Amino acid sequence: MSHDLAHLGRNTLTIHAGGEIDRTTGAVAPAIYQTSTFAFASCEQGAARFAGQEDGFIYTRMGNPTTARLETAVAALEGGFGGFATASGMSALCTVLFAVLGQGDHMVGSSSVYGPSRVVVERDFSRFGVTSTFVETADLEAVRAALRPETRLVFVETPANPTMAITDLAAVAELAHAHGAILLVDNTFSSPILQHPIALGADIVMHSMTKFLNGHSDVVAGMVVPASEALYRRIQPVHAYLGACMDPHQAWLTLRGLRTLSMRVRTAQAGAQQVAPWLERHPKVEWVRYPGLPSHPQYELGARQMEGPGSLISFELRGGYEAGVRMLNHVKLMTLAVSLGGVESLIQHPASMTHAAMPRPDRIAAGISDGLVRLSVGCEDVEDILADLSQALDQA
């Protein structure tokens, strides 16, 4: 991040970070460098770049001017040393796992983390001698009990997907660091507008940029932001060798979406702050989990740790699974689809969709019940969202 941006607020950074005006043409919008490779002025220059003795681009898998702008912007928002744009949120996670874990290592993770994030650790990394323990990281004693001498990584998603449980990041960072472990935080649900994990002690922050950072349901992308130069250098070769690079056009779209991040996040949050209490009062709703409700188990922690409760709501109907299915099959304005963080409201059933690959006992233990419904409130007029919820609930 350049010095003249260091003093700016996050709302301003979303608009200006990584957005320097093109010196050659004066173009305000960044160019799309849709190229696989970059020419060298001489053989000596090529050698110097490969040796790391000279800055510059070599090959898009290893870096690209368009993706570099996006990496600069997100790193500035998160307060990190730098960033690595990836092809998806899952490729962001796998890049970190390959970079920091090896045979005989152990990791601790949030039990209700995004389903595939847990599955890839338990099913695939276990084949290479990596062990894992998934616990409710909102319970600090559970985290403490799970840590081992060989623990090298603590992986926290907060608020958790889809239970909305909130983990005390400063406290978990202290526990992790006392055991010599790295703290990785998935900040997808809050975005850097509402939560700042690095400031609370996280060593690495990751995002599925498919969600809020892009915000328009038209890009699949991820981002890794290490807090320190040492971790940046550790992750850099793994990112290049895994081929987890992001396409320049996708990076351009995400950077364009990033410019309205603050406005979108706050608009959707304002809607969710009306939808959540409405759902909690509805006679057909059994319970609601939303960080902005006093009934949330970590309500006070959320108020301290986050700059706002966000726009994700989980709830369950009194009729359980069958009632939830009937409701979901009757939404009209809201879109029945996985993902979140788009300008449109998205609603889905985690047990049969995003978390279907988790064994049911593990899913239930993580608090993901058969009837849980996850709602990502969008930027529509809240009156229209409530009207759609009302008519769909009538069918349940």
> DSSP string of 353-392?
TTTTTS-HHHHHHTT--TTEEEEE--SS-HHHHHHHHHHH
Q: Name residues whose C-beta falls within 8 Å of residue 184's C-beta, 6 or more positions apart in sequence.
A: 96, 100, 153, 154, 155, 156, 202, 203, 204, 205, 206
Strand order in the sheet with 312-317: 285-289, 312-317, 372-376, 346-348, 335-336
Question: Mean pLDDT throughout 309-318?
Answer: 95
* Residue 207, strand partner residues: 223
Question: Mean pLDDT throughout 15-36?
Answer: 91
Give me the pLDDT at residue 345, please. Answer: 98
Q: Which position has the higher pLDDT, 10 or 288? A: 288
Tens digits of per-residue pLDDT, 108-127? 999 988 888 999 999 999 99
Mean pLDDT (the chain) is 94
Question: Mean pLDDT throughout 279-304?
Answer: 97
Q: Comparing C-alpha atoms, which of 344, 347, 329 is closest to residue 381?
A: 344
Question: Mean pLDDT throughout 240-267?
Answer: 96
pLDDT band at 4 (very low <50, low <70, confident <90, very high): low
Give me the pLDDT at residue 2, please. Answer: 44
Question: Mean pLDDT throughout 65-93?
Answer: 97
Q: Name residues whose C-beta falls within 8 Å of residue 44's C-beta, 6 or more positions apart in sequence.
A: none
Q: Name residues whose C-beta falls within 8 Å of residue 12's C-beta, 6 or more positions apart in sequence.
A: none
Tens digits of per-residue pLDDT, 136-162? 999 999 999 999 999 999 999 999 988
pLDDT exceeds 60 at position 213: yes
Q: Comparing C-alpha atoms, which of 339, 285, 336 is closest to residue 312?
A: 339
Question: Mean pLDDT throughout 263-290?
Answer: 97
Pairing verdict, β 335-336 and 84-86? unpaired
Q: Comparing C-alpha atoms, which of 264, 256, 188, 259 is closest to residue 222?
A: 188
Six-digit token string for 227: 């807090």
Walk me through the domains of the chain, giving residue ranges and CATH numbers: 7-258 (3.40.640.10), 262-394 (3.90.1150.10)
- The H-assigned helical ranges of the chain are 10-16, 43-50, 65-78, 89-100, 115-119, 140-146, 169-178, 191-194, 229-242, 248-258, 261-281, 299-305, 320-328, 360-365, 382-394
**Among the ranges given (226-235, 299-308, 317-326), the one the predictor scored with the smallest mean pLDDT:** 317-326
pLDDT exceeds 90 at position 296: yes
Six-digit token string for 100: 């920091």
Residue holding tokens 């930027």? 379
DSSP state of 123: I
Question: Mean pLDDT throughout 185-191?
Answer: 97
The pTM assigned to this predicted structure is: 0.94
Report the C-alpha gap between 204 and 202 in whole angstroms.
Answer: 6
Q: Residue 8: phi, psi to the nearest 5?
A: -80, 150
8 A C-beta contact, residue 105 and residue 241: no
Report the C-alpha gap between 305 and 295 in whole angstroms.
Answer: 17
Q: Name residues whose C-beta falls within 8 Å of residue 274's C-beta, 6 or more positions apart in sequence.
A: 382, 386
DSSP-assigned letters across all residues of 232-276: HHHHHHHHHHHT-BPPHHHHHHHHHHHTTHHHHHHHHHHHHHHHH
Q: Which position has the higher pLDDT, 74 or 19? A: 74
Six-digit token string for 202: 């996280």
Instruction: State whether residue 222 is helix, strand or coil.
Output: strand
The two counts, helices (H) then strands (E), for the chain are 15, 12
Question: Mean pLDDT throughout 202-230?
Answer: 98
pLDDT band at 372 (very low <50, low <70, confident <90, very high): confident
Question: Mean pLDDT throughout 182-206?
Answer: 98
Tens digits of per-residue pLDDT, 250-263? 999 999 999 999 99
pLDDT exceeds 90 at position 312: yes
pLDDT exceeds 50 at position 3: no
8 A C-beta contact, residue 276 and residue 290: yes
Q: Which position has the higher pLDDT, 358 or 65? A: 65
Tens digits of per-residue pLDDT, 324-351? 889 999 999 999 998 999 999 999 988 7
Enumerate the active-site residues: 61, 114, 186, 211
Give me the pLDDT at residue 1, please. Answer: 41
pLDDT above 90: percentage of residues in the chain = 83
